[in-house]
């Protein structure tokens, strides 16, 4: 095993009285893609959102256990959530660019973190768009509204927007589920590219996608992490019967 970027230890998560995650333990390796699979409502998205504390926004939610990020618990007191989210970026299921220009979308993060220098901003925007494999398609219309892009382009723009704040970890919540097969293939190629520089965690509904893009896979079922292992092992020789039932399509 290579270096561990984030390590989740004995994590419980509650929505009011409902326990959505039960004693989760997962190591997230640096520069690897970790896929989280499981049927709807199994807790995989909830888990993803505990990694950048987006669940803090939900009233009545509660976390127990630890999430170590470079060996520091992000749930400890006095943790700066803004700083955490800068370092742990997120891409959502629905492509959701702001109703602003392509340039302003990507520049949004650096700007709110205080960068004003125009040349520097432009440099970051171009670099991020290139990083998200979108630059060639939009370089002549950076000032056009982002809402004029196709769904797949919008999603890559959202990835560029996340990259622009230079995160270390990238969380992706079913990033291709709203896209057509061609756009999906582009996103998957991109993920493969991105893992050279980022630690990636991806929630996906598609087992083929998990098999294609990930190094490690975790299978969630009703709030439990049933199995976590190298992706090859999970798909070829799972050790838990429930994992096998799920990946062979017997339920879910």
Partner 1 sequence: MENKLTKRKAVEKIVFSILGLLMLSSIAVLGVIIFFIFKRGLGVISWEFLTSMPKNGMTEGGILPAIVGSFYLVSGAILVATPLGVFAAIYMTEYAKKGKLIRIIRIGVNNLAGVPSVVFGLFGLSIFVKYLNFGVSILSGALTLAIVILPTIIRASEEALMSVPDEYRSSSLALGATKWQTIKNVVLPAALPGILTGCILGVGRVAGETAPIIFTAATFFSMRLPNSVFSEVMALPYNIYALVATGTFPQKQIPIAYGTAVVLLVLVLLINLVAIFMRIKFSKKNTN
Binding site for partner 1 (CB under 8 A): 52, 54, 57, 59, 82-86, 89-90, 92, 94, 96, 98-100, 108-109, 111-113, 145, 147-148, 158, 161-162, 165
Give the residue with the Cβ less far from partner 1, 58 or 208: 58
What six digits make up the tokens of 169?
A: 């970890």
Q: Which of 95, 94, 93 is nearest to 204 (CA)?
A: 93
CB atoms inside a 10 Å sphere around CB 241: 10
Take residue 99 and report the two structure tokens written for it.
């109703």
CB of 86 to partner 1, least distance (A): 4
Using CA atoms, how far apart are residues 247 and 124, in angstroms rounded to an integer? Answer: 41
CA atoms of 84 and 93, how far apart (whole Å): 21
CB of 192 to partner 1, least distance (A): 23
CA dist., res. 129 & res. 137, Å (int): 10
Closest distance between partner 1 and the C-beta of residue 118, in Å? Answer: 18
- Count Cα atoms within 13 angstroms, Cβ side, for 107: 19
Least Å distance, CB 173 to partner 1, is 10
Q: Toward partner 1, which CB reaches closer, 83 or 232?
A: 83
Pick the closer one to partner 1 by CB: 107 or 221.
Answer: 107
Closest to partner 1 by CB, 22 or 86:
86
Cβ at position 62, least distance to partner 1 in Å:
16
| Closest separation in Å from C-beta 160 to partner 1 | 12
Between 108 and 135, CB nearer to partner 1? 108
Query: Can you name the residues that pair with 216 across neighbouring β-strands?
Result: 34, 230
Question: Cα–Cα distances in Å, from 12 out to 17, 25, 84, 136, 157?
Answer: 12, 10, 20, 44, 33
- Indicate if the alpha-carbon torsion angle 2, 46, 97, 210 is positive or negative: positive
Number of H helices, E strands in the chain: 10, 10
Nearer to partner 1, 20 or 225 (CB): 20
Q: Which residue number, 75 or 108, has a Cβ lying nearer to partner 1?
A: 108
Could you list the beta-strand ranges (E) of 54-108.
61-69, 72-73, 88-91
Question: Nearest 5 degrees, angle CA 84-CA 85-CA 87?
Answer: 70
CB of 229 to partner 1, least distance (A): 29
């Amino acid at each position: 095993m290579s270096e561990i970027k984030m390590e989740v230890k004995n994590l419980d998560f509650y929505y009011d009285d409902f326990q959505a995650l039960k004693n989760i333990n997962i190591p997230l390796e640096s520069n690897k893609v970790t896929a989280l699979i499981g049927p709807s409502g199994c807790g995989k998205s909830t888990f993803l959102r505990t990694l950048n504390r987006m669940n803090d926004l939900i009233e009545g939610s509660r976390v127990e256990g630890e999430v170590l990020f470079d060996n520091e618990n992000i749930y400890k007191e006095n943790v700066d959530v803004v700083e955490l989210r800068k370092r742990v970026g997120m891409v959502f299921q629905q492509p959701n660019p702001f109703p602003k220009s392509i340039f302003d979308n990507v520049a949004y993060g650096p700007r709110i973190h205080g960068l004003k220098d125009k040349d520097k901003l432009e440099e970051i925007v171009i670099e991020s768009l290139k990083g998200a494999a979108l630059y060639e398609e939009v370089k002549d219309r950076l000032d056009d509204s982002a809402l004029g892009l196709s769904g797949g382009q919008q999603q890559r723009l959202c990835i560029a927007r996340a990259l622009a704040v230079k995160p270390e970890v990238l969380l992706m919540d079913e990033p291709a589920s709203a896209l057509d097969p061609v756009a999906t293939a582009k996103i998957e190629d991109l993920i493969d590219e991105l893992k050279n520089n980022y630690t990636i965690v991806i929630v996906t509904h598609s087992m083929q996608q998990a098999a294609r893009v990930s190094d490690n896979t975790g299978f969630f079922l009703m709030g439990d992490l049933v199995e976590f292992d190298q992706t090859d092992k999970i798909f070829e020789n799972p050790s838990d019967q429930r994992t096998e039932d799920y990946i062979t399509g017997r339920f879910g």
